[in-house]
Amino acid sequence: MQATSMESATDSDSRMFVLEEQVKTLSEELIQCQADKEFVWSLWKRLQVANPDLTQAVSLVVERGSSMETPLMKALSSAAPVPDSYSAASQELEAELHRTWQELSSLQSHSSSLAAQLSAKDRKLMTKEGQLSQLRKDCAEVQALYKQSTEHAADQSHLIRQLEGLNLDTQRVMRNQEEAHNADATNYQKLYTELSQSYQALVSSEAQLRQSHQELTDQLAQKDQQLLQLQSQIQQLQQALPPPQLPTQTLETGPSPNRQTNFKASLSESVLRRSHSLEQVSAHEFDPGVQQRTLTNHSRRSVTRHKRSRSLSPASSVELRGEGRQDAETRVLELQDMLQLKIEENEELRKAHDNRRERLRLIQSNYRTIKDQLKDLEKASGT
């Protein structure tokens, strides 16, 4: 489009140059015609000034024509004879008239030719003026067309610059969108990888928690069985005890202070160890290995306390046979305390089991949430 506008501007320039040359030529011809016209009119004016009678005679000659010559010559020939002096003067006048007539004829022919030339020059001048006016119109049209072409070329160049700027803006926006898309794709891929790892970790943690839950359930069942056995032993011991008798000595009224101190020390040690084991369970609640080791140590400590209570029982002493009843009562008391400890231990285990069950439910809900998020991400990456 810009090349077309440039070609049209070049054609307009060449056409304008040709028109200017034609206008210049016509102007020169018009000036020449005006000079010829002025020359003819100046010649006619000089002729009128020099010979006014001649101009009148020319007009009379033009009116009469050649009809005047014949009557004049007849009149001269038919005239009466005159003296020689008049005859000579008449001959001179006749000769002068003849010369004047010839000169008048030549001037008339020259005037006619000049008038014809003048009319021709006038017609040519009018033609040239018409051509000049037409050329001026064409020149004005060409100038207007050139101005329009220049304005159109300027508009086209401005539009081209705007389109180039718009193209650059479009390319920049496309690059930014591509970079943003690549960054989003990278973030989605990274998030997908992290969620996949979290999913695998939750699956393995769920399996471990299920296994730990099963082990804790088995241990609770064992503890309940042990409690039932201890309760049956206590009932058997209570049934096997003889009827109560009034004690005669201080040793027969109850267990010895040393035995009570040993039992209290073992009870305090059991409580401390149980609290320590509960702290370890709370600190390592998501580690199945640590939970298993803690439960095993707790069971071993319970068995140790049970053995220690049996070792502290008066029934293990063979030397004090006379104190059988007191030893049996002491053993019953120790068994009751041990039963209470077992009950408390079972309650703590149930609480820990409930906590783990609650955490398992939370992990399962988190697992379902992450699974749904993974499905959404897979759908988003697929689309």
Other beta carbons within 10 angstroms of residue 342's beta carbon come to 19
The pair of structure tokens assigned to 214 is 């099963």
CB-based burial of residue 142 (10 Å sphere; 0-12 exposed, 13-18 middle, 19+ buried)? buried
* Cβ atoms of residues 282 and 332 within 8 Å: no
Residue 255 dihedral angles phi and psi, to the nearest 5°: -70, 155
Give residue-wise pLDDT tens across range 278-294.
444 444 444 444 444 44
Predicted local distance difference test score (pLDDT) of residue 294: 45
Residue whose tokens read 């005047």: 68
Other beta carbons within 10 angstroms of residue 104's beta carbon come to 20
Give residue-wise pLDDT tens across range 176-187.
999 988 998 888
* Cβ atoms of residues 259 and 330 within 8 Å: yes
- Comparing CA positions, the residue from 301, 306, 300, 295 lying closest to residue 349 is 295
| Domain residue limits, the chain | 2-173, 258-382
The pair of structure tokens assigned to 237 is 């011991």
Q: Write the Ramachandran bin of 65: left for phi over 0, alpha for psi from -120 to 50, otherwise beta.
A: left
* One-letter amino acid of 383: T
Pure H helices in the chain:
2-50, 52-64, 69-78, 84-240, 257-283, 288-312, 324-382
Sequence-separated (6 or more) residues with CB below 8 Å from residue 331:
237, 313, 314, 315
The parts of the chain modelled with pLDDT lower than 50 are 1-2, 65-70, 72-84, 86, 244-268, 270-272, 274-322
Sequence-separated (6 or more) residues with CB below 8 Å from residue 36:
117, 118, 121
Predicted local distance difference test score (pLDDT) of residue 236: 79
Predicted local distance difference test score (pLDDT) of residue 163: 93
Predicted local distance difference test score (pLDDT) of residue 346: 80
Sequence-separated (6 or more) residues with CB below 8 Å from residue 314:
255, 259, 320, 323, 324, 326, 327, 328, 330, 331
Predicted local distance difference test score (pLDDT) of residue 54: 57
